[in-house]
Amino acid sequence: METILIEKDCLEQAAEIIKRGGLVAMPTETVYGLAADALNGAAVAKIFAAKGRPMDNPLIVHIADLSQWDGLVREVPEKARILAETFWPGPLTIILPKADCIPDEVSAGLDTVAVRFPSHPVAQELIRRSVPLAAPSANLSGSPSPTNARHVWDDMNGRIDAVINGDDCAVGVESTVITLASDPPRVLRPGGVTVEQLREAIGEVTVDSAVLQPLQSGEQAASPGMKYKHYSPRARIVLLNGPEQAFVDYVNRHAGEGIAALCYEEEIPALNVPVISIGAENDYAQQANRLFTALREVDERGFRLAYAHCPDTEGMGLAVYNRMIRAAGFEVIDLEA
């Protein structure tokens, strides 16, 4: 299939492709999404084929007007309404029992549907010119999510109809996913809206155990996406948990051919290996913004192993930690303090 590049001020063409049942990669404020008409099961099925995504992993439906939400879910309860008023448009995905119109391809056989109202003007305009869009991240299944049009092109050229040539994504990690189909509401994936912000808006919110740990054997994934190996470069990533000096010492002791450090800006001068910085130690938003580009860079520069400093879990740090520990396949070394 020939993939075309569409400039962001020529969205009519992208909307036509969607309405014909095709696939278009679009920028959002979190990561690029691979979009199809959410109510066209055959179109949605093509997303799974293009990404190599397991069919039991459900998709998020993107809307550009609150009124579209009502048709997609059975009802919108009070807490959901508050979350939408507080965080939409923006990087929050809300799961509720689904309406009958949602194809099985979108919900992957679950009786719920995930909905998000993105803040990105290009995503909004594409939805307004077409229909609500089912869209996972526009990467090949398992690889780091794309945060610029080039990442999408590298993964998807020849597999989809079009890529919209938009800007780099501002948030850089995917949306926070919260389910209101259980009580109390539960975060299934941390992201651009923090757990602290959610609690401030609606009170008690729990965090699914799969956010921080691998699924235990026999455990059912509340969010099917959590059970797959994710965000992984081809290189091996090993997380080192400990203070800055211990991190630097460990990496320098293990320096060698093909080995790099995924580190904080402040650590660069002390490291004796090639470095890829994910940002300043206390700037979680910057780390989120750079993380996926940094993970791709590990492969682009041909490293076989990168030691990464284990991120903090406060605020948006939790989203960075959640992605990083999956990229590392949960391989963590605890350093002595």
Candidates 73, 80, 95, 262; binder of ligand TXA (CB under 6 A) is 95
Give 126-142 as a DSSP string: HHHHS--EE--BSS-TT
Looking at residue 270, what DSSP letter applies?
Answer: G
Print the binding letters for residues 176-215 with ligand TXA: x by CB under 6 A, - otherwise.
-x----------xx--------------------------
223 scored as a contact of ligand TXA (CB under 6 A): yes
What minimum distance in Å lies between the beta carbon of 294 and ligand TXA?
18
Distance CA 275, CA 294 (A): 10
Distance CA 43, CA 309 (A): 41
Number of residues engaging ligand TXA in binding (CB under 6 A): 29
90 scored as a contact of ligand TXA (CB under 6 A): no
93 scored as a contact of Mg ion (CB under 5 A): no
Preceding omega of 184 cis (within 30 degrees of 0): yes
Give, in order, the Cα–Cα distances in Å from 178 to each of 5, 133, 186, 198, 223: 33, 19, 5, 9, 10
CA atoms lying within 13 Å on the CB side of residue 175: 30
30 scored as a contact of ligand TXA (CB under 6 A): yes
What minimum distance in Å lies between the beta carbon of 289 and ligand TXA?
13
Print the binding letters for residues 47-76 with ligand TXA: x by CB under 6 A, - otherwise.
----------xxxx----------------
Where b means 16+ CB within 10 Å and e means fewer, 68-82 reads bbeebbeebbebbee
Only segment of 1-9, 78-86, 111-119, 278-286 that touches ligand TXA (CB under 6 A)? 111-119
What minimum distance in Å lies between the beta carbon of 84 and Mg ion?
22
147 scored as a contact of ligand TXA (CB under 6 A): no
Only segment of 64-72, 105-113, 233-241, 273-281 that touches ligand TXA (CB under 6 A)? 105-113
137 scored as a contact of Mg ion (CB under 5 A): yes
156 scored as a contact of ligand TXA (CB under 6 A): no
Residues with Cβ within 8 Å of 132's Cβ and at least 6 positions away in sequence, in order, are 37, 38, 39, 61, 62, 63, 68, 72
> How long is the chain?
337
Which residues lie near Mg ion (CB under 5 A)? Answer: 137
